[in-house]
Amino acid sequence: MKSISYLNTKEKNKKKLSIPSKTIFAKENEYGLKKPNWLKIKLPLNNKKINKIKLIMRKNNLHTVCEEAACPNLAECFNRGTATFMILGSICTRRCPFCNVSSGRPSLVDTKEPENLSKAAIKMKLKHIVITSVDRDDLKDGGSEHFSNCIRFIRKKNPDIKIEILVPDFRGCTELALNNISTYPPDIFNHNLESIPRLYSKVRPGANYKRSLELLEKFNLINPNIPTKSGLMLGLGETKEEIIEVMKDLRKSYVSMITIGQYLRPTKNHLTVNRYVHPKEFRELNLIAFDLGFKHAMCGPLVRSSYHAENQINCY
């Protein structure tokens, strides 16, 4: 049985247009915890559409979190003609042990990126675009003005498109960042909590659970008519009770949309999977989310925050 090999940065740059063309399993846990059948990934036999999306990215000097984070849904989403754009470069100033995005000293902000992003959205005929970014703690505004510029430029060229942004926590510049983004607000504001409070120091060093909740709540107070969204990944040692408490905290912070998926270990250098959550448990969490008052919930093993995002906004 073949497994996905998650490439390092140099290898990824060499093989940007290569992708397996058969059914595969993601890499097995080195501690003997094998991936169950429900995590089986079906890849298309024809890579034409996938390569077309990758080519659009290369021509416009753009990045996708799908590639940089080794998302298991890459083939499916690219084959459907969608992608989650990652702005502000491909180098993150933080090193979260669950994330496959490269970390280090980032490059200068590409001032042409908003225009290139708009061109790509038009070329891909997108009706819903999801934009995320690396953490940019080196910038005084955390990159928020660049987010705003991207939204402004996209709306100028394509006023009917729905724009969803998945933002970092803007550590040390929350007020400035929210003011910048509120100048040209998105249709959906997303910030992922990722995990439960007890595991934060392990899963998100450099982040703070309370700060992330406050970011979501403050955006809602400034923009009460714009839905806020957050996401969790499971399988790192959390309990069902702890998950539900986080969901309650999100509702108290006026978050109305939630995604919950399974954490998958990108490489042996990343956090170990504690357990693989059964699909039945995800279905139960989906029902609990609606009982708690979420207007939209998507919970499943391969669910990610931007997975089928264009359908999630239909609840509004």
* Residues 37-61 pLDDT 10s: 999 888 777 789 999 999 999 999 9
d(CA 76, CA 136): 29
Count of Cβ atoms closer than 10 Å to residue 49 Cβ: 14
Q: Which of 303, 210, 233, 289 is nearest to 257 (CA)?
A: 289
Res 2 pLDDT > 50: no
- Give the tokens for residue 297: 């919930």
- Range 208-225 burial, b when 16+ CB lie within 10 A, else e: ebeebbebbbbbbeebee
pLDDT for residue 316:
63
Is residue 69 scored above 90 in pLDDT?
A: no
d(CA 292, CA 274): 27
Residue 31 Cα to chain centre, angstroms:
27
Helix (H) or strand (E) holding 165: strand 162-166
Q: In whole angstroms, what is the distance from residue 76 CA to residue 302 CA?
A: 11
Q: Which DSSP string do the residues of 85-113 spell out, in sequence order?
A: EEES-S-BSS--TT--S-BS------TTH
For residues 7 and 214, what is the distance between their CA atoms, to the nearest angstrom?
36
Q: Binding site annotation covers 92?
A: yes
99 is known to lie in a ligand binding site? yes
Q: What is the per-residue pLDDT for 123?
A: 95
Q: Where are the domains of the chain?
A: 9-315
The CA distances from residue 25 to 15, 62, 78, in Å, are 20, 28, 18
As a whole number, mean pLDDT of residues 15-20 equals 34
96 is in an annotated binding site: yes
Q: Is residue 16 scored above 60 in pLDDT? A: no
Instruction: Report, as an integer, the average pLDDT of 9-28.
Output: 39
For residue 230, what is the enclosing H or E element? Answer: strand 228-234
Strand-pairing partners, residue 41, are 24
Q: Distance between CA 129 and CA 310 in Å, rounded?
A: 8
Q: Are 85 and 59 in contact (CB under 8 A)?
A: no
The token pair at 193 is: 């909590």
Kindly report, residue by residue over 141-161, the tens digit of the pLDDT: 999 999 999 999 999 999 999
Q: Which pLDDT band holds residue 73 (cuts at 50, 70, 90)? A: confident
Give the β-pairing of 162-166 and 63-64: unpaired
Amino acid residing at 170? F
Angle between helix 144-157 and 174-183 (nearest 10): 10
pLDDT tens digit sequence for 219-270: 999 999 999 999 999 999 999 999 999 999 999 999 999 999 999 998 888 9
- 8 A C-beta contact, residue 250 and residue 230: yes
What would the two tokens of residue 272 be?
A: 């170990």
The CATH-assigned architecture of domain 9-315 is Alpha-Beta Horseshoe (3.80)
Structure confidence by residue, pLDDT tens digits, 89-137? 999 999 999 999 999 999 999 999 999 999 999 999 999 999 999 999 9
pLDDT at position 313, please?
Answer: 72
The pLDDT tens digits for 258-304 are 999 999 998 888 999 999 999 999 999 999 999 999 999 999 999 99
